[in-house]
A and B are shown apart, each in its own frame.
Chain A
């Protein structure tokens, strides 16, 4: 009897351990931000004035936002940190929320937003959305091939890659509800972000839609896209690149 009971519990243990990987696969959603009416309204009501004050607040263990991203999010250390100026408010809010609950991993960012409320995150997002994007430094020698421009406007059917422009807009300006503006983003940050998506290190895009695309792109394409989009902001002042391209 004792032996039987022992075997029963052994089977139970086996069953349990078989379930564990299943449990892991269940996993959390890639982001807990959902665009319900309430969330949407809160972001819309974000007070930019409050946001402008929050970004300079520094505590003993947390930097001010301006330390890394610059005033108004437009003068970041371009080797590491993204430009935040002119970014779609809903997108900024989502990233900050994702940092806060760990859906997007970055120790310093998580610490930075740990003690902020959702309303304060919305305020920051509203503040950054209003800022004009500064010009981005791009090496004159860096070239963007026709093939890359074709990727932007026509995608690649062989790899099932949609055009960047179809979601991010023909001028890289982003779109409703939370598609980010990518025009005028720092080259290094753009490249690192795409690499992180490709590796799965950044995984807060729902239904893996950026991860799938980043994985399919080559390293050269990512480098050129980064230059294209960085320049797009610069060029917009002077008319910008044409939209229709030869197939």
Chain B
């Protein structure tokens, strides 16, 4: 099979680009522990409010023993509950979110707080907010005719 020498050079360039990109992602995954949300946990969407982790009184931000924060939320048409979440800056925050109805997505723009919310599963994302101020939780997956209006507030406050 005949391969033009210039084409061969290009194949090396392509190989190099691929190796650099895959290598940097592998490094970031293994050494820096950066992964997309990967907690797989099933839950019954039909009985969330009755018992378990997502009953009404358990929602919101709680401080764990090691100082990190866990925020439990429910994404249900058409808001995120609780509608106002307050977390400290520069502190690891773990969000645990689920849905009693349909697919939702949640994203805080300009941060890596982003996850799908799939009924039947608990989504878990851990992140650290670096900037103080008000931000938005935006629903970014079509969840019905009111999808546009599905959003809630996040306040990042100084520590302590």
**A joins B in a complex:** yes
CA distance A34 to B78 in the complex (A): 19
CA distance A2 to B100 in the complex (A): 55
When A and B form their complex, what is the total count of cross-chain residue pairs whose Cβ atoms lie within 8 Å? 60
Contact of A162 among B46, B49, B50, B149 (CB under 8 A): B149
B70-84 interface mask toward A, CB cutoff 8 Å, 1 = contact, 0 = none?
Answer: 000010111101010
CA distance A171 to B147 in the complex (A): 18
Q: Is A207 among interface residues, defined by CB-CB distance under 8 A?
A: yes
In A29-77, which residues have CB < 8 Å from any B CB? 29-32, 34-37
Q: Is A102 among interface residues, defined by CB-CB distance under 8 A?
A: no
CA distance A212 to B78 in the complex (A): 12
For the complex formed, measure the closest distance between the CB of A244 and the CB atoms of chain B, giving whole angstroms: 14
CA distance A25 to B79 in the complex (A): 23
Assess the A166–B79 pair: CB atoms within 8 A.
Answer: no
Q: Is A200 among interface residues, defined by CB-CB distance under 8 A?
A: no
Chain A hits for B63, CB < 8 A: none
Assess the A206–B49 pair: CB atoms within 8 A.
Answer: yes
Assess the A25–B57 pair: CB atoms within 8 A.
Answer: yes
Identify the closest chain B residue to A179 (Cβ).
Answer: B77
Q: Is B145 among interface residues, defined by CB-CB distance under 8 A?
A: yes
Q: Is A21 among interface residues, defined by CB-CB distance under 8 A?
A: no
Q: How big is chain B's contact interface, by range?
A: 20 to 34
Contact of A32 among B50, B77, B146, B153 (CB under 8 A): B50
CA distance A209 to B79 in the complex (A): 9
CA distance A157 to B152 in the complex (A): 10
With A34-B47, A162-B79: A29-B55 Cβ-Cβ less than 8 Å: yes
With A31-B49, A32-B50, A36-B47: A162-B57 Cβ-Cβ less than 8 Å: no
Assess the B50–A34 pair: CB atoms within 8 A.
Answer: yes
Q: Is B141 among interface residues, defined by CB-CB distance under 8 A?
A: no
Assess the B56–A206 pair: CB atoms within 8 A.
Answer: yes
A143-182 interface mask toward B, CB cutoff 8 Å, 1 = contact, 0 = none?
Answer: 0000000000001000010110111000000000000000
Assess the A27–B83 pair: CB atoms within 8 A.
Answer: no
Assess the A30–B50 pair: CB atoms within 8 A.
Answer: no
Assess the B49–A163 pair: CB atoms within 8 A.
Answer: no
Assess the B83–A162 pair: CB atoms within 8 A.
Answer: no
Contact of B57 among A27, A31, A163, A212 (CB under 8 A): A27
Top 6 A-B residue pairs of the complex, sorted by shortest distance between their CB atoms: A166-B146, A162-B149, A34-B47, A207-B81, A206-B49, A29-B49
15 sampled A-B residue pairs with Cβ under 8 A: A31-B49, A34-B47, A34-B49, A34-B50, A35-B46, A155-B149, A162-B79, A166-B144, A166-B145, A166-B149, A167-B78, A207-B59, A208-B81, A209-B79, A212-B79
